[in-house]
């Protein structure tokens, strides 16, 4: 009996554990997303009185809204890439190459009977990615999107007051003041 073309009913245990580990790592490193209503509170926007207050606001807002800020930067990066469809297609092709050749591969890659180890696959994919980014205009489009996103984040951090933040987040207050 052949199983060609059938869809497995369970994910392999190794793949599942990698997904769980990646999710836990991202969750612990980014923290929790804050309410968008708290972030876009129009009544909490005003000019800081001095430079020290502005720097303090930016630091505190980055600590408090870091997950929201990552979402905003990634959304604006995606939005800028929609205006450059060639760059978006190239990034999708590179992502597919990484997923098919590295992340989703359970068995070792074999070319003409020669088994290629994972370090060689990583090296080739990394060199391929760097070459494509620098030989096309993808890198400039990515950098402009990230720069646009970071500008929006810094402007929000500059204007957003921090008086109503950190209700019950004493740990984050200490981390922000130590920066």
Helix (H) or strand (E) holding 176: helix 170-178
**pLDDT value of residue 147:** 93
Q: Looking up tokens 């987040």, which residue turns up?
A: 169
Q: Which range among 25-34, 81-90, 112-121, 153-162 shows the weakest confidence by mean pLDDT?
A: 25-34
Contact 45, 162 (CB under 8 A): no
> Is 59 a member of any domain?
yes
Global confidence as pTM: 0.63
> Is 16 a member of any domain?
no
C-alpha closest to that of 73 among 159, 157, 150: 150
Q: Which two tokens stand for residue 179?
A: 């920066």
48-60 confidence digits (pLDDT tens)? 889 999 999 889 8
Residue 97 has pLDDT above 70, yes or no: yes
> Is 18 a member of any domain?
no
Report the domain count for the chain. 1
**pLDDT value of residue 10:** 57
3-class SS of residue 35: coil
> Is 148 a member of any domain?
yes
- Gap between the Cα atoms of 153 and 138, Å rounded: 22
| Residue-range definition of the domain harbouring residue 100 | 33-178
> Is 6 a member of any domain?
no
> Is 117 a member of any domain?
yes
> Is 123 a member of any domain?
yes
- Gap between the Cα atoms of 119 and 135, Å rounded: 24
Angle (nearest 5°) at CA 73 between 70 and 79: 140
C-alpha closest to that of 153 among 53, 30, 59: 59
> Is 11 a member of any domain?
no
C-alpha closest to that of 80 among 94, 66, 72: 72
C-alpha closest to that of 72 among 130, 152, 142, 4: 152
């Amino acid at each position: 009996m052949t199983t060609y073309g059938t869809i497995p009913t369970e994910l392999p245990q190794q793949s599942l554990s990698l997904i769980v580990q990646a999710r836990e790592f991202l969750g612990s490193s980014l923290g929790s997303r804050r309410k968008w209503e708290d972030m876009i509170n129009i009544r909490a926007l005003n000019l800081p009185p001095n430079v020290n207050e502005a720097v303090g606001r930016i630091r505190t807002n980055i600590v408090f809204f870091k997950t929201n800020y990552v979402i905003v930067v990634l959304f604006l990066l995606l939005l800028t890439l929609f205006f450059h469809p060639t760059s978006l297609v190239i990034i999708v092709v590179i992502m597919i190459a990484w997923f098919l050749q590295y992340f989703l591969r359970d068995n070792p890659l074999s070319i003409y009977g020669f088994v290629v180890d994972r370090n060689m696959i990583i090296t080739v994919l990394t060199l391929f990615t760097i070459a494509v980014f620098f030989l096309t205009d993808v890198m400039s489009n990515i950098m402009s999107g990230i720069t646009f996103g970071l500008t929006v984040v810094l402007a929000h951090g500059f204007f957003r007051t921090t008086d109503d933040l950190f209700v019950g987040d004493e740990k984050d207050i200490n981390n922000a003041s130590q920066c």
